[in-house]
Amino acid sequence: MKKINWNNLSKDEIIFLLETQDNKIIQELYKNAYQTKVENVGKFVYFRGIIELSNICEKNCFYCGIRKDNLNVNRYFMTDEDILEAAKFAYEMNYGSIVLQSGERKDKNFIDKIEYLLKEIMKLSNNELGITLSLGEQNYTTLQKWRKAGATRYLLRIETSKKELYKKLHPENHSFDERIACLKNLRKLDYQVGTGVLIGTPYQTTEDLADDIIFYKENDIDMIGMGPFIPHPDTPFGNVLKNYSETKQLELGLKMIALTRLFLKDVNIASTTALQTLGKDGRSLGLLAGANIIMPVITDSKYRKKYLLYQNKPSLDENKEDFRKRLEIKINSLGEKIFYGKKGDSPHYKKRRKL
């Protein structure tokens, strides 16, 4: 291959880089992506404390451990008290932002509860905490209600930007078009819009992944949260990938971060927990490949073991304060600084809105 144009990658170059096994080129990819990150978002890491409110989900995605039909899951909904306490912890620790995540539910009780919690969290943090929601597909009215109550960002992974592949990863009643429509509604409601894909799933090609990165750009996405697929034994995809390798999944995850950084430049990109599951220091490697966001789980440990989207999810027994300290030491050792007390809005969003 001729010289790679790192600043303006073509689709063919993205595919080539996803496929290459040449370690020299792979290291060059990470180095260039890191450089692009430093130029666009600095040597900073922002924390988003993630609260996993509930593992109750109406959906049945083939890959997910908390899918509705997995009867081995012990379902929970955190108490209001525990949720608000976790939010307070994040505020007092100066995390700047939190993410409220749960399985998908669309009933009135759920919608009202989230609205109530948003208002309470705004109160307890003097309107200072940035709140991201990651609560699945919701209709315009619900999203509007939550926006008014204080949420400013929303994460809805498209999982794959290819409709045909989407159909293979989900049961028939899960609609790709509705998911796209939901992303559009988030934009209309002036949320900072986050999305992402599952990397290395059954039936996926490297061209699909290249198209995912192009999809992010074409849809002017502000925040990216994506991670490698990790099989969960109690799901239809528990055993589908015959040549599954943790090392390969990790590498593909890191390459996707690097390529997304090079192609989109000024967005926020998360180094996700799934990376950490696949390799020691996976999350640090994510930062060195171009990510700038870390989402420490701050869900109380009594719930954490039950929020298993995939196998071997780490930190299950960790105390959240120890975890933060260890993470801080680790991040500083990479020459990066944690930006405490700042919401850390996506620079792309600010430019887009001319803020």
* Residues lying near ligand SF4 in the complex (CB under 6 A): 57, 59, 61, 64, 66-67, 103-104, 136
Q: Which x/- pattern, by CB under 6 A, does the window 293-322 give for ligand 5AD?
A: ----------------xx------------
Q: Which residues contact 340 (CB under 8 A, 6 or more apart)?
A: 47, 93, 94, 95, 96
CB of 201 or CB of 346, closer to ligand 5AD? 201
CB of 41 or CB of 198, closer to ligand 5AD? 198
Q: Using only C-alpha atoms, what is the Rg of the chain? A: 19
CB of 57 or CB of 98, closer to ligand SF4? 57
CB of 89 or CB of 310, closer to ligand SF4? 310
Q: Which x/- pattern, by CB under 6 A, does the window 70-109 give for ligand 5AD?
A: ----------------------------------------
CB of 63 or CB of 191, closer to ligand SF4? 63
Q: Which residues contact 350 (CB under 8 A, 6 or more apart)?
A: none
Q: Choosing among ligand SF4, ligand 5AD, none, which partner's interface includes residue 310 (Cβ < 5 to 8 Å by kind)?
A: ligand 5AD
Q: Choosing among ligand 5AD, ligand SF4, none, which partner's interface includes residue 103 (Cβ < 5 to 8 Å by kind)?
A: ligand SF4
Cβ atoms of 92 and 85 closer than 8 Å: no
Least Cβ distance, residue 178 to ligand SF4 (angstroms): 12
Which residue is associated with the tokens 């996700």? 272
Residue 55 Cα distances to 70, 229, 256, 320, angstroms? 11, 19, 28, 20
Least Cβ distance, residue 289 to ligand 5AD (angstroms): 18
Q: Choosing among ligand 5AD, ligand SF4, none, which partner's interface includes residue 264 (Cβ < 5 to 8 Å by kind)?
A: none
CB of 179 or CB of 324, closer to ligand SF4? 179
Phi, psi torsion values for 226, nearest 5 degrees = -140, 160
Of 233, 262, 207, the closest CA to residue 28 belongs to 262
Which residue is associated with the tokens 């989207």? 309
Q: Give the separation between CA 146 and CA 131, rounded to whole angstroms.
A: 10
Of 1, 49, 63, the closest CA to residue 29 belongs to 1
What the block records as the tokens of 179 is: 């998911």
Q: Which of residues 198-237 bind ligand 5AD (CB under 6 A)?
A: 198, 227, 229-230, 232
Q: Give the separation between CA 196 and CA 161, rounded to whole angstroms.
A: 9
Question: If you write DSSP's letter for every residue of 16-45 in order, what string do you get?
Answer: HHHH---HHHHHHHHHHHHHHHHHHH-SEE
Q: Which of residues 273-292 bind ligand 5AD (CB under 6 A)?
A: 274
CB of 36 or CB of 70, closer to ligand 5AD? 70
Beta bridge partners of 293: 46, 270
* 63 is an interface residue for ligand 5AD by CB under 6 A: yes
Least Cβ distance, residue 10 to ligand SF4 (angstroms): 32
Least Cβ distance, residue 66 to ligand 5AD (angstroms): 8
Binding site for ligand 5AD (CB under 6 A): 63-64, 157, 159, 198, 227, 229-230, 232, 274, 309-310
